[in-house]
Structure 1
Amino acid sequence: MLRTLFLALVLITTSAVAAKKEKDGSHVQPDNYYPRVKMETSAGDVIVELYRRRAPITVNNFLRYVDAGSYNNTVFHRIVPGYIVQGGGYDVEYGEKPEYDPIFNESGSGMKNKMYTISMARQNNPHSATRQWFFNMNDNSNLDPGRDWGYSVFGMIVEGEAVIEKMMEVELDYQPAIGEVNSPKEPIILKKVTVLPPV
């Protein structure tokens, strides 16, 4: 009886651990420290290499949204020329997309917010990042950690830099649905994000 109960508990615990692992994105190419994703946008395609070795929590979090198809048909809702291009949070009607729990801020990994890197967006709380991210379109040292927490870098554009550069040239306008003053007048859509086969 006790042995049966013990085995049942082991199975339940193992199942719970497996479910948690699956949910956190670590199941996506688990042995690949540098997975790549392809972003198909209405402005062209971009390929991003992710730095799982340096920012595992952040990369796994990003990949679980990718794996669920949750970034498909979202918009780049905020563009600040010469600074950032931000997306990941809103559908094409500017409705908020569902979020997983916030993640730990890995800005202390040693990676800097350099040109063409991708980083997690967050609120004032340093550990409030969920699903939104941004491309650095300059060497934004003000976003690196110092006396305070910074913004966690977790990858780099390796193909398609010109696509993001082109986004910075679009006409911007106020988007009342989200209260954003630097939103593209004509929406730029992130049509699909897929994980590429390991190289």
Structure 2
Amino acid sequence: MLKGLSLDLIPKDVSARTEKLIDKEILAIKETAKKFKFDPVGEEEVVLMETSSGKIILELYENVAPNHCNNFKRLANSGFYDGTLFHRVIKGFMIQGGDILSRDNDPSNDGQGNPGWTVGAEFSSISHGPGILSMARSQNPNSAGSQFFICHEEAKHLDGKYTVFGKVIDNFYVVQRIANAVTEKRMLKRLLKNKIPDGEKTEKWMEFRKQFVKVPNGMNPNDYRVQLSSYVNSDRPLAPIKILKVRVVKKMDIENE
């Protein structure tokens, strides 16, 4: 077991549970991460990220962004990331995860969570290309907390604005698989038709944003309209993509698996 890997402050089995967490459990996970003891990231360490779509191996740029690397190790090895989701997926751009609020019962707040502290910017000349690990933030350059993203393709417009602190070194195909996941917005585009197809019963269809969509059997059209409205700008995967476990470990530990 890695140094300090005790989750004593977290209610029993919370990190491995699949059901949604309540507020006090989320606070306990944050408190555990805050008090977690660990050694600074070393050159011999890498990130093992296990997701519901496969494993991703990443290296950390501890000499480029030491504070971000150590913050990531604190969160990863304390169990903070376990059970969270990739809540934002944009094909041809990036996949984003690491929000503890993706474990609560309110999907509308995904992307708004933090660990309870921030990390100051550590911008560098490293460009955002495929596989780059970078830290998400708000408009404040010094507002990075726990949310991170992995670039699917080149994103040079982010250079010098977001802190790069690592890169995928193995299993990039998993990133590609996640990036290609059907999101709520992409599903909505598939459902909408410019006109009601010939031979269809018009009463089973409704107009939505100047197009037409078929209402599922047994569903109230108004309720369906509300649901579809939440999909319009949503990059959330239709089927949840879970971050099962993230740990910063020694390279030899992975090589010996």
Do the structures match in fold with TM over 0.5?
yes
TM superposition outliers: structure 1 runs of 4+ over 2 Å: 22-25, 27-31, 92-98, 174-177
Aligned position for 2:148 = 133
Query: Residue deviations 1:30-77, cap 9 Å, x none?
Result: 361352111110000011111111100111111111121000000000
Aligned position for 2:243 = 190
Structure 2: runs of 5+ lacking an equivalent: 1-32, 186-226, 253-257
What is the aligned-residue identity percentage? 32
Contact 1:117 1:136 in 2 (8 A): yes
Answer with 165-174 or 184-193: which moved more: 165-174
- Matching of residue 151 in structure 1 with residue 162 in structure 2: yes
The partner residue of 1:173 within 181, 184, 189 is 184
The 5-angstrom pairing of residues 68-79 of structure 1 reads: 68-79=78-89
Answer with 27-36 or 117-126: which moved more: 27-36
Structure 1: runs of 5+ lacking an equivalent: 1-21
Distance 1:102-1:24 versus aligned 2 partners, 3 A rule: farther
> TM-score by structure 1 length?
0.77
SS across alignment from 1:119? strand
Aligned position for 1:124 = 139
Aligned position for 1:163 = 174
Distance 1:198-1:127 versus aligned 2 partners, 3 A rule: same
Contact 1:100 1:131 in 2 (8 A): no
Q: Which has the higher contact order (CA 8 A, sep 6+)?
A: 1
* CA deviation after TM superposition for structure 1 residue 23, in Å: 5.1
The 5-angstrom pairing of residues 62-141 of structure 1 reads: 62-89=72-99, 90-91=102-103, 93=105, 94=107, 99-107=115-123, 109-141=124-156
- Give me the whole-angstrom Cα distance separating, in 2, the residues matched to 1:125 and 1:153: 16
Distance 1:99-1:117 versus aligned 2 partners, 3 A rule: same
Question: Which has a greater percent of helix?
Answer: 2
Contact 1:34 1:53 in 2 (8 A): no
Question: Which has a greater percent of strand?
Answer: 1
- Give me the whole-angstrom Cα distance separating, in 2, the residues matched to 1:181 and 1:39: 25
- Structure number with larger C-alpha Rg: 2
CA RMSD, 1 decimal: 2.6
